[in-house]
């Protein structure tokens, strides 16, 4: 059974409003602080509602009849697109499962990673609470600070930077595909015993002489990097997630499922152990930048020995907010992402061959006109 959080006033389904940082009812207009809404552990809530989770392909006649007998308002296109993407990505997977919406009884198709979704029949936010229990229960969460309106404005502004961007890429239909997604992250703490030896070289010219000076340097010490974020989901582009860093950890709060309604959420499919080597590599990259900073006084430098050891590599599991969009153009996939807390954006827009050709054609035409004008002046000017 997929659960929801009900409005204390009218029993409609609440959604988390990023701007207000409160739960909001779209029907009666009520807004509620998280602690104003009755709090139940998700596993308790799931037990009370008698959860039903079945492999895809098995149906519930009762649920189908109930869903068919009720009015089914259209769901926003981005939600249907996300559900369709989940179905397409996992249509051959035995992990594909089916849940029953407790608002209308309709079926919700989901893969094993999705923990918060929407009902395709009534549009209700659906919390598949069982998915975030036990080893999959996050320790922390950073709530969304930017709502859909802000994300759409940021996307359109970002698109203006690409003069060859296809018209359809910035269409309202495509903008509607923007999805607010809580991405599973591991926040790694890494300690390091730094031991680096190397040589540096400077050169200075004085008159007819060039003075070259050689130096030896040594960098030793203990260092600790805290909360290095690594996304724990294989279908999320790692470089894209790194491009929208950093997150401001002052907003990191203990996980509460009441931040989820109104957004999608996934659980990790890469464990802490799976990402240890990558965390150590990120720490090494940070150290390399620090070494480069400390040796920039030399004209050139060379590392002779680097015996740095990384240890105490441990991580906490957290959900971090991302506005995300995938777009296919001429058979290739393009992505846009926006940090749902800070507003930092990144991505790669497709290039329209038509726009590119038109631009070059116009440029050549203008160049030709200018060339003829200059040639006319050189040959004696134009006669009126």
Among residues 319, 352, 350, the alpha carbon closest in space to that of 333 is found at 350
The beta-strand segments (E) located in the chain are 15-17, 22-24, 31-32, 54-55, 97-100, 107-110, 114-118, 125-127, 140-141, 179-206, 209-231, 253-254, 264-266, 300-306, 309-329, 332-339, 345-347
Edge-first strand order for the sheet with 31-32 is: 15-17, 22-24, 31-32
Q: Summarize pLDDT for 324-333 with one digit per residue, the tens.
A: 988 877 778 8
Q: Give the domain ranges of the chain.
A: 15-137, 179-351, 352-384
Q: Summarize pLDDT for 220-256 with one digit per residue, the tens.
A: 999 999 999 999 999 888 999 999 999 999 999 999 9
CA distance 21 to 257: 14
Mean pLDDT of 136-163: 89
Cis geometry, peptide bond prior to residue 283 (ω within 30 degrees of 0): no
What pairing do the DSSP bridges indicate for beta strands 309-329 and 253-254? unpaired
Work out the angle at residue 141's Cα, subtended by the Cα atoms of residues 140 and 145, and round it to the nearest 5 degrees. Answer: 155
CB atoms inside a 10 Å sphere around CB 295: 19
CA distance 211 to 334: 52
Among residues 182, 217, 184, the alpha carbon closest in space to that of 202 is found at 217
User: Exposed/middle/buried for 166, CB within 10 Å: 0-12, 13-18, 19+?
Assistant: buried
Residue 98 pLDDT more than 60? yes
| pTM passes above 0.85 | no
Q: Summarize pLDDT for 302-335 with one digit per residue, the tens.
A: 999 999 999 999 999 999 999 998 887 777 888 8
């Amino acid at each position: 059974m997929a659960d929801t959080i009900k409005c204390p006033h009218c029993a409609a389904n609440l959604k988390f409003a990023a701007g207000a940082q409160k739960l909001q009812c779209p029907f009666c207009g009520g807004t509620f602080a998280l602690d104003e809404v009755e709090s139940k552990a998700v596993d308790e809530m799931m037990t009370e509602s008698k959860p039903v989770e079945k492999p895809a392909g098995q149906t519930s006649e009762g649920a189908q009849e109930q869903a068919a007998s009720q009015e089914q308002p259209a769901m926003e296109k981005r939600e249907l697109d996300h559900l369709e993407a989940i179905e397409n990505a996992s249509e051959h997977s035995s992990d594909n499962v089916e849940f029953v919406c407790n608002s209308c009884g309709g079926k919700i198709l989901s893969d094993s990673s999705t923990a918060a979704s929407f009902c395709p029949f009534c549009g209700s936010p659906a919390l598949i609470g069982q998915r975030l229990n036990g080893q999959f229960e996050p320790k922390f969460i950073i709530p969304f600070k930017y709502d859909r309106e802000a994300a759409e404005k940021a996307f359109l502004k970002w698109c203006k930077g690409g003069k060859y961007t296809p018209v359809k890429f910035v269409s309202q239909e495509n903008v509607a595909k923007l999805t607010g997604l809580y991405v599973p992250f591991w926040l790694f703490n890494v300690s390091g015993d730094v031991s680096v030896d190397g040589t540096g070289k400077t050169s200075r010219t004085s008159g007819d002489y060039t003075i070259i000076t050689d130096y030896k340097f040594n960098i030793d010490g203990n260092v600790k990097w805290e909360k290095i974020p690594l996304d724990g989901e294989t279908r999320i582009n790692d470089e894209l997630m790194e491009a929208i860093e950093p997150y401001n950890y002052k907003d990191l709060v203990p996980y509460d499922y009441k931040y989820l309604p109104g957004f999608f959420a996934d659980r990790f499919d890469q464990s802490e152990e799976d990402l240890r080597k990558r965390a150590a590599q990120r720490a090494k990259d940070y150290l390399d930048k620090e070494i480069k900073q400390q040796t920039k006084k030399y004209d050139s430098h060379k590392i002779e020995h680097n015996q740095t050891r990384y240890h105490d590599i441990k991580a906490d599991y957290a959900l971090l907010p991302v506005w995300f969009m995938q777009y296919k153009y001429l058979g290739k996939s393009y992505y846009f992402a926006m940090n749902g807390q800070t507003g930092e954006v990144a991505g790669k827009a497709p290039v329209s061959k038509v726009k590119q050709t038109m631009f070059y054609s116009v440029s050549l035409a203008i160049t030709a006109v200018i060339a003829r004008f200059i040639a006319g002046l050189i040959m004696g000017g134009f006669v009126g």
